[in-house]
Structure 1
């Protein structure tokens, strides 16, 4: 594992008072094609009970993954879905969506989940929205002999020397791929991701160690890796849980304001006018 750069998730608040930890780059130079990672992790419902009431998006893809608890998703396209533990959901918002994500009433044991934003290329930002989730098919898993379990969330994944597994959600912008890797104590995984130009991992549990210097990376760190080197991930004595991201940079200038990510300030101003005029629709 060759670490190019590292970032720490920062405490933040979004929605109706939801406490999160966030890693973001809206200058679009460090994580392209990804823009942002939000992690919600709490056993105290006061940290998330307010949820995310109806709000708009344009020009991005939102990808939600739940490890514990759940949300009910609603949008102006008519989708109403409960997203629970191990489920994923993808909204390629294109020209516009209005959606809400509210905690499920029967999810009483806390919440642990992620929302990832992926940029869209300029030529696709104004196309119709697309919705997909994994609730019917589930997300496939692969296990190796070294204490590693890989859950494919978006795209196709495989350990070196093993068969590929294919997530039900495919076709994210920037050829983006996302997986959840769970490592037992001192577990190890090897992945060849050289077919993508960007690779990163976010550690949500435990720690990773590198050889030969035994440098340690801990929970809450986001590591950008050399995609052209074999990705070798070794857990410490506590084991580790991490999200893996891979994709191809879009390399376009972006302008960001709240829930909108476009290519020019003029397009941002038009998005605001369209939303205020009700052209996004309503739930």
Structure 2
């Protein structure tokens, strides 16, 4: 496995004062086709109780994965869903979505989850929005003889002599995501994936390199194209695998809008101000 870049998540806030750890990629340099990786991990309700009140999106996809706790999602398309531990939610916002994500009232034992933004090809940014989640079709999971587990969050994965096919199959840029859990002293290996961009985000525990260096949580490892995946942990680890094909297109970004040109951003603002995104 060859790592060509390592990035650290930094503390910030979003929504109504929600404390998160973020790796941004709106400059298009390192994460393409991904735009942002946000992790929310806290046992203190004050860090997330404000949630994410109603707000718009255009031109990108939101991918939400909950490990612990949960949120209630609402949008102008009429979707109202409790997204709980183990659930995945995907919105291809296209020309416009208005939604909110608020902590579940009974989520009293902390919250750990992700919202990951994926860019959309320029030609698709103004198509109709799509909503999908895994509440009715849970993400498939396989565990090998050493207790290493892979949960297929999106796309299709081969692990432990099984094909794991998520119900989420049509993400932009051929994106696929998986969550890998390694017990202490175990190794996880995968041959090279088909996607051009493959990244590893350590969300729990730590990894140990062949040289004996420890890579702690909140680190993102970007692999050389065509690299295999070879992870080892001495203490135990949880790692997200993010894969996708680079779009290599200009990025114009302002708040919840991600388009290709500044003119398109200004149009998104006018459309929002004119009420074209609808109401929840």
SS at match of 1:123: helix
SS at match of 2:162: coil
CA contact (8 A) 1:60 1:260 kept: yes
SS at match of 2:78: coil
How far apart, CA to CA, are the structure 2 residues paired with 1:59 and 1:74?
19
Cα distance, 1:235 vs structure 2:
1.2
CA contact (8 A) 1:183 1:241 kept: yes
CA contact (8 A) 1:193 1:199 kept: no
Cα distance, 1:214 vs structure 2:
1.9
Counterpart for residue 75 of structure 2: 75
1:101-154, Cα deviation, whole Å (9 max, x unpaired): 000001111111100000000010000000000001111111122331000000
How far apart, CA to CA, are the structure 2 residues paired with 1:167 and 1:32?
22
SS at match of 1:270: helix
Counterpart for residue 250 of structure 1: 247
Counterpart for residue 218 of structure 1: 216
SS at match of 1:158: strand
RMSD over aligned CA atoms reads 0.9
Aligned length: 280
1:75-106, Cα deviation, whole Å (9 max, x unpaired): 00000000000000000000000000000001
Counterpart for residue 60 of structure 2: 60
Counterpart for residue 91 of structure 2: 91
How far apart, CA to CA, are the structure 2 residues paired with 1:228 and 1:205?
26
How far apart, CA to CA, are the structure 1 residues paired with 2:24 and 2:30?
9
Q: Any stretches of 5+ residues in structure 1 without a counterpart?
A: none
How far apart, CA to CA, are the structure 2 residues paired with 1:74 and 1:47?
21
Runs of 4+, deviation exceeding 3 Å: none
SS at match of 1:35: strand
TM-score, length-scaled by structure 2: 0.98
